[in-house]
Chains A and B, each alone.
Chain A
C-alpha cells in the first residue's frame, strides 16, 4: 500500500540519520511525530482488484448452522470450478445480525449482491427500488416447478422480486403423552373455547406448564397476528391503517389474557428457541408456534425413547368466536438481488442462484437440516429419494402437515392475516417494533383497559411508522 511504503521509507531514513547523529533528538522527535500524523491521516489506499475480470460476490443468508455452511462451501466451490472468474463469498448469520449488516451496507452503498429477506422486506424494498426483479432467473430455474403457494408471495405487479430459499409452516406443538395423561383429545379441538377448556388439564406446574409463548416483541406481534387472523380479523384495513381496536383484535387480546395463567411465570423473558428446548424436555405441554426445526431440538434434547411424532404431535390451530378458518404462519425467506450492486455482480449472483437451485446442489442444502429446510419444488415432495431421507421418513406426519397447510392456502407470511396485507409496505416495521408488544404487556400484565391500549397502539403505529414511511 502506498501509505505504508512512504511511511516505511521515511522511518528507515529517519532512524538512519539519527543513528549517524546527523539530526539531533529534537529534530528526530519532530519528524517522527510528523510522519506518524501523516500516516494516520492519509486514507489507506484500497487493495487493487486482483485481475480485471475477477468478480467477487457476497451472498448473505440466514442459515449459520455448521452443516449448512459446509454444504454452501461445497456448492460455491463447485460453482467456482465452472466459473473460474467468479468468487462467491457465502456467509450465514442470524436475523438480527442480517438486519444490522444490511442497514450498514445499504447506508454505505455497498450492498451484497444478494441476501435473504422476509416477505415484508421484499415488499418494502421493491417499492423503493432497492431490489430488482428476477423474472429471468426464476424462469430459467423453472417457474412451473415451484409450489404456487411459495411463488405467489414474491410477485408484485406482475413481476417477481424474490425467490424463497426454503419454506416452512408453523404449528401448534403438543405433547401426546401429556394429553393422554390428561385424558383429552386435542385433535378434536375446533374453537378457542375447546382449547381453553382443556388447557387447565395440561397445566401441572412445576412439572410442566400448559402453554408457552415467547416474550420477545417480534414474536409477540406474530402471535397476536395469528390470533387476530384466527378470529376473522386483520391487523390492517385496506388502506394499511392499523385496526387493533376492532372487535376481532380485542378478542385476540382477550384470549391472551385467558391463556396467561397457563404460561411459565417468566414467559415475557423467554426466547422462542428456549421454548423448543422446553418442549423437547417436557417442561411445557404446548408450544403455540413451533417450527420444523423443533425436530432437531427433539433429537438433541428429548430422552432417546421419546424422539418421535407420537409423543411430539401437531395439534389443531383453533378459531375464535368471530373466525371461520384457522391460520398458520408461512416461513418465506426470499433471495433478493440488490439494485445498487454493480451489474456484473448482480449477473454473477443470478448465475450462482441458478446453479444453487439445481437438484444436485439444492438437495445438499436442504439435506443439511432435513426437516427444517423444505424444497420449493413440487416434484421433490413426490420423489422417493427426497422423501427417503431418514429424518424425513421419521417425521413424515410433520411434512404431511406442512404440505396440507400449503394446499389449504391459509398459511401466510409474517404479520399477514390476509393476502391483501402483502402489499402494505410498513408491516415489517410494525412487526419488528415493540408497539404491539407494549400493548399486549399493558393489557395482559398490567391489566389496562384493552380498548384504550389498542387505540394507543394504533396511534403509535400511525405516528411513528406509517407517517414516517410515507415521507421517506
Chain B
C-alpha cells in the first residue's frame, strides 16, 4: 500500500467509529470464509507459538516432576526416596487437617474473590467519570497492588497489632461493640486476611475493568439516557454486558490465584503463627514440604491443589462458554 493509501485508511477508520454503535456485536459471516484457510491457520499458530513455547518450557518440567514425586516418600533434604504409590493421597483423604485447610482455602477464595470483584468494579465506576484529581486518584487506587507483598502484610500486621495497632486502638475509642482486640489471633485472623487481600488485589480488577470501560462507546450511554434509562438500568443493560468478556477472565484469574495463594496467609501469620486460623491448603502444602520436610507429601498436596483448580476451571468454562469471535 502506498503512503496515500495508508492515509485513506486512517480517514476511513475514523469515519467508521461512528458506526460502531449498532454493529458492535454482529460478526458478518464473511469472516468465516476468510479464516478457514490453511495458510491463515498456520500463521495463526506461529503467532501463538512463541508464547506457548516459553510458558510450557518453564512449566512442564516442574509440573511433571511434582506429579511424579507425589507417588514417593522423600525427605526434603535427603537423596533417597521410596515408592509408595497412592499412599500419600490416601493419607490426605483421611487427614482432618487436609480437609480443614481445604475448607479454609475455599472460604478465603470465595470471599476474597467476590469482594475483590465488587470493590474493583465499584472503584472502576468511580474512576471512570471525569473529575478534578481523577488521574491522581487512579494512581492511588493502583497503590495497594504495587506495594511489595511482604511490606504490605507487615504494615497490616502492624496496623492490626494488639499492642501497637492503630486500628484496634481507634475501634476501642469509638466503643464499637463486639470488636475483638486480638484481631490477629486464631479466631479472627481469617477476617483480617480477607480484608487485606481485598485491599491488596482489588486494583487488578479495578484497572482492568476501568480499561474496558474506557473502550465502551459513550454513544451507547447517550442513547440510553435519551430513552430515559436510569443509572442502574444503564449499568445492568449496557455496562455489564460490555464488561462480560473481561470480567469473566478476571474472575477466573483472581479465583485461581486466591486459591493457590501461599505468601499472603503465610506472611500474615509470620510463618504459620495463629494456629490453624489461616492454615489454608497452600500453607498446609508448604508446611509438609518445608517444615515436616516431606517432599513427597508436599508434592501430593500440590497435585491435589492442581486437580481441584483444574476441576474448578473446567466447571467455570462449562458454565460460562466463551468464543464470541465467530
Contact = CB atoms under 8 A, between A and B. Distances in A.
Judged by CB atoms under 8 Å, the answer to whether A and B touch is yes
Contacts of A361: none
Contacts of A90: none
B208 interface: no
Contacts of B293: 428-429, 432-433
Contacts of B275: 215, 268, 437-438, 441, 445
Interface string B277-289: 1000000000100
B53 A269 contact: no
Interface string A94-123: 001001101100110000000000000000
Interface in A38-56: 40-41
Interface in A6-36: 26, 29-30, 32-33, 36
A140 interface: no
Interface in B285-313: 287, 290-295
Nearest to B189: A269
B294 A468 contact: yes
B77 interface: yes
Interface residues of B, number: 48
A30 B42 contact: yes
A266 interface: yes
A465 to B, nearest CB: 6
B77 A130 contact: yes
A9 B175 CA distance: 73
Contact of B273 (A99, A270, A464): A270
Interface string A459-472: 00000110011011
From DSSP, what is the main secondary structure of chain A's interface residues? helix
Given A432-B291, A445-B275, A106 B77 contact: yes
Nearest to B185: A266
Interface stretch (B68-76, B104-112, B240-248): B68-76
Q: Give the most central of A40, A216, A268, A471: most B CB within 10 Å.
A: A268
A429 B80 CA distance: 17
A215 B274 contact: yes
A103 B290 contact: yes
B9 interface: no
A209 B181 CA distance: 14
A265 interface: yes
Nearest to A209: B163
Interface in A175-216: 209, 214-216
A40 B270 contact: no
B276 A269 contact: no
A278 interface: yes
A267 B185 contact: yes
Contact of A37 (B43, B49, B182, B273): B49
A33 B274 contact: no
Given A40-B50, A103-B77, A429-B293, A269 B271 contact: no
Contacts of B201: none
A204 to B, nearest CB: 13
A80 B180 CA distance: 58
A239 interface: no
A297 to B, nearest CB: 14
B186 interface: yes
Interface in B173-227: 180-186, 189
Contacts of B294: 464, 468
A265 B182 contact: yes
A434 interface: yes
Nearest to B74: A472
Interface string A418-442: 0000000000110011100110010
Interface string A236-273: 00000000000000000000000000001111111100
B24 interface: no
B162 A266 contact: yes
B161 A434 contact: no
Contacts of A209: 163
A242 to B, nearest CB: 14
B46 interface: yes
B291 A217 contact: yes
A265 B74 contact: no
B232 interface: no
Interface string A363-396: 0000000000000000000000000000000000
Interface of B: 39, 42-43, 46, 49-50, 53-54, 57, 73-82, 157, 161-164, 180-186, 189, 269-277, 287, 290-295
18 contacts: A26-B43, A33-B46, A40-B57, A102-B77, A106-B79, A128-B78, A214-B273, A216-B270, A217-B271, A217-B273, A217-B291, A218-B271, A265-B180, A266-B183, A268-B274, A271-B273, A437-B275, A472-B81
Q: Which 7 residue pairs across A and B have the least CB separation, nearest first? A: A265-B182, A269-B184, A266-B182, A33-B46, A266-B162, A271-B270, A215-B273
